[in-house]
A and B are shown apart, each in its own frame.
Chain A
Amino acid sequence: MKTDGAEVLSKTVTQDEAAILDAWNVALLEGTSLQSGRIREAELQTQVKTVFGQLRDALASGGLDADAAGFASLRETLADISRSRAIQGFTPTDTANFVFSLKEPIFDALKRMPDGDATALAAGVWAAGKVLDRLGLQTMEVFLASREEVIGRQGQEIAELSTPVVRLWDGILALPLIGTLDSARTGVVMENLLQAIVDEEAEIAIIDITGVPTVDTLVAQHLLKTVAAARLMGADCIVSGIRPQIAQTMVHLGVELNVVSKATLADAFAVALKRTGRKVVRQQASTEGRR
């Protein structure tokens, strides 16, 4: 007679529930996840109970295929747990161990089976291994996906933070660019700048590229687009902070920026002040040189 691993496993899990739960709890308490203080014991126990109950029901519904419909609620619970762990900053090992530490208690329970014949034991162990490995892998997948989501969001936040628009004077804006300009960032930069032009009623915008490491044809094109869009809004643009090496590279590459450009932000600001009919003068020529 062929021994059905799934049946053996389901029976053991149902009959020996209390012992398995206790052993699993102990294994988890010994693990590092509690000691790091990121989760409370009560919360962990609730998770254990829910997961175990759903595992029992799923096994009872038949089959070992963790992708089957019977396992849907269990998969969902595990996904929730692993997502929250990814956000709480658990290590991947801790997260995977949550499922994998259930192996030993179940194997032990299988060994304690009253009608201990070797074939049934082997089949039960194989079935348990198969299900738990699959569930563990799914947990990891969700964990990694959540981490990537967090990283993606941070990247977006950095992109937004790194494109500030600064008001230098009435109607004069500065846009200090730091980092490489790609098309996604150019979009953010352009939107921020144009909105600021509207909000501040700016006449002149200074785009400072001191923090842009390289200027190739693509970056130049992005810059020109930004300048053109600002012009459409009725604001003039000045590009400043082109470093000597970059200026050389640009000329060698044949990149042309057909806009007013100045070496430093200070020079550009002086031009902007002049164009808006202002002038900076020393208060008293002789004193310590404060403007």
Chain B
Amino acid sequence: MDRIPILKLGGALIVTIQVDMHDRLALALEEDLTAMIARTGARGVLIEISALEIVDSFIGRMLVSIAAVSRVLDAETVVAGMRPAVAITLVELGLELTGIKTALNVERGMALIQARLSDEDDGHGSDRDRHED
């Protein structure tokens, strides 16, 4: 079975989804990503989905649960590059991905993660508050 590669870049993990997500692939990704975060101690996860054209409620829920699991392991998830059609579909499905940060493209997504990493370098105290929202 295919697996989606996970790349490590500094303190962040990058996942680009370039094939049609089917359910088993999504489950495998969640598993791999969790293991990878635990192993590398990454603080940010960037999921790039600009090539993802078809999304259903299951995939939407997987994104939410990947974000939730990452948060437990103290990594922040940013979804980048969502297509307009996918965004509309998710909203119509009632999946607004609350709790996940979003960015227009990889560049901005990385900027969000870098901002968090440098915040933490400055002092751990300020970061605590941001987890609450």
Contacts and interface: CB of A to CB of B under 8 A. Distances in A.
A284 to B, nearest CB: 35
Nearest to A201: B104
Nearest to A195: B84
Contact of B88 (A191, A197, A201, A231): A191
B96 interface: yes
B97 A234 contact: no
Among A187, A198, A203, the one with the most B-chain Cβ atoms within 10 Å of its Cβ is A198
B22 interface: no
Interface of A: 187, 190-191, 194-195, 197-198, 201-203, 225, 228-235
B6 interface: no
A290 B90 CA distance: 45
Nearest to A226: B91
Interface string B84-99: 1011101110001100
Contacts of A234: 80, 82, 102-105, 108-109
Given A228-B96, A232-B97, A234-B82, A194 B104 contact: no
A231 B57 CA distance: 18
27 contacts: A190-B88, A190-B91, A191-B84, A191-B88, A194-B88, A197-B84, A198-B84, A198-B104, A201-B104, A203-B104, A228-B91, A228-B96, A229-B88, A229-B90, A231-B102, A232-B86, A232-B87, A232-B91, A232-B96, A232-B97, A232-B102, A233-B84, A233-B104, A234-B80, A234-B82, A234-B102, A234-B103
